[in-house]
Amino acid sequence: MTLKDPQKLLPSAIEDKWRIEEMILDIPPHGIPVHKKSLEKFYDTSQKNKNSIILQPSLAITSELGLPKYPTIAYLYPQEYIAKNLSSLSTTPTVIDLLDLDEKLHYFADHYGIAIKPQYVRAIVGNTCNLKCVMCPYHSPLIKPNHTTDFFQGNRAMSWEMMTKLAAECGQAGIAIMVGSLEEPLLHPKIVDFIQLCRQQGVPSIHMTTNGQLLDEEKAIALLAAGLTSIDISIDAFEVDTYKRIRGSNLHRVRANVLNFIQLRDRLGVPCNVRTSFVRNQGNSNDEEQAFQDYWLEKVDGVFMLNLAQYQETNMRLNQENQAVQDSIQYYRQKSQGRWPCMYPFTEVAVLPDGRIYYCIETLFRLGFDQEIESLGDYNKQTLQEIWSGDLFRALRRDLILNQLDNRPACKQCDMWMSQVKFQSVKEGIHRTTTNVTEIYQKI
């Protein structure tokens, strides 16, 4: 047998039984050691199958629901194949992907941060907003007095130094960036410069969520010229009175800003996806919701409908859940015998203006209420990769895989891990994606 293992990723001693004649064992230089049990599965499979075999780990249910594909850890193929690229193999390889618990922890906790990069980074560029929407857990005049932390006191804007570091690291790694998760990003004086720098540094996409009140013509042209790739405008109303009640501002202004943004985008030929969103607030009628959908689907690329989320006792809770996915959620819960590992700490990082690192929308939702959420790093002192592959992220992923969450109240009481189940359909040129939290209507 020919052995290709330039990084010495195989277990220190390979038994004599591994000397399989006329075969090549090829270990790509990903920096991920091959677990001994995986090697034993390779040997057992090779006794039944003399064609090619690959090891590509998966995490039950979480991978099925959309976790990024793990790189191939090992190839075994006949010596007549001179290339290790699967596309060059003349027969369909046998894939070893089912793992026991030790292997899951090895690949998806201990070495996941090396194997797979974040899909996106939430850059929290500030803590302020120009609106005081009644349902907002961060800025609502009804909710903010109940905050037990000081995060939303004063003005905490991300420094240009930190923005520069994020743009460089995400650009080099090819990681997308999102702004506007809890703040109005257009309030940041350097937001256009940040977007432009991100794109110059190679960031593949940068998304903004905004309330649109500041999205005038000058700002729209600047954002499009900077390279913004997608934008969600939160509106939540079709009627002027409803908008005033919920958002306390001028519906005509935001509507005109959105329509003008689309016209500018088309005139300038900039590929920027535009969506509007509607939170199903208490007191909103079904007729208004439908009118919102009908109006905006004629004008924008997509419409985002969200069920109202409120902070109740310890966690974010939905006032309603979409029924289209309930059967699938129950199916996966039965299959996992409880809950499966939440995908968010395997796909995203949130960087706060002070350098703290959070890991999902639930932890961000608690920013005004929970002093005890552990930061998983310090972006002032560490690189993104050091944080992503570091001990604190590894420990969190391990606890999620083992479902040992007693010391993680933000996770233990959370329901958002079920939002990863999706129902998708296509009708009359509209692609619809439904979770228990959202309905997304996207033009094809």
* Tens digits of residue pLDDT in 238-254: 999 999 999 999 999 99
Angle between helices 160-173 and 191-201 (to 10 degrees): 30
Give the pLDDT score at 309: 85
- DSSP 3-state of 384: helix
Asked if 365 contacts 152 with a C-beta cutoff of 8 angstroms, the reply is no
How far apart (Å, rounded) are the C-alpha atoms in residues 24 and 189? 57
Fill in the amino acid letter for 95. Answer: V
Q: Hey, what are 338's tokens? A: 């409880």
Q: Which residues of 182-210 are buried (b: 16+ CB within 10 A; e: fewer)?
A: bbbbbbbebbbbbbbbbbeeebebbbbbb
Place of tokens 């985002």: 304
Q: Hey, what are 415's tokens? A: 């329901």
Asked if 252 contacts 241 with a C-beta cutoff of 8 angstroms, the reply is no
Where the chain has pLDDT below 70, the residues are 13, 15-19, 81-91, 313-315
Give the pLDDT score at 81: 67
Cα distances (Å, whole numbers) of residue 269 to 224, 257, 300, 375:
9, 18, 15, 41
DSSP state of 378: B
Q: Hey, what are 419's tokens? A: 């939002």
How far apart (Å, rounded) are the C-alpha atoms in residues 160 and 370? 27
Q: Where are the alpha helices (DSSP H) in 202-356?
A: 217-226, 240-247, 251-268, 286-297, 326-336
* Tens digits of residue pLDDT in 34-91: 999 998 888 888 888 777 899 999 999 999 999 999 999 999 888 776 555 555 555 6
Give the pLDDT score at 22: 79
- Whether the pTM exceeds 0.85: the reply is yes
**Strand-by-strand arrangement of the 74-78 sheet:** 2-4, 23-26, 74-78, 53-55, 94-96
Return all residues near 367 (Cβ < 8 A) that are at least 6 apart: 138, 149, 151, 152, 182, 358, 373
How far apart (Å, rounded) are the C-alpha atoms in residues 226 and 281? 34
DSSP state of 145: G
DSSP state of 356: B
Nearest to 179 by CA among 198, 161, 165: 198
Cα distances (Å, whole numbers) of residue 210 to 86, 103, 249:
44, 42, 14
Q: Residue 273's beta-bridge partner residues? A: 230
Asked if 247 contacts 237 with a C-beta cutoff of 8 angstroms, the reply is yes
How far apart (Å, rounded) are the C-alpha atoms in residues 352 and 387? 13
How far apart (Å, rounded) are the C-alpha atoms in residues 116 and 346? 8
How far apart (Å, rounded) are the C-alpha atoms in residues 121 and 166? 9
**Strand-by-strand arrangement of the 302-307 sheet:** 357-358, 348-351, 120-123, 176-179, 206-210, 230-234, 273-280, 302-307, 438-443, 430-434, 423-427
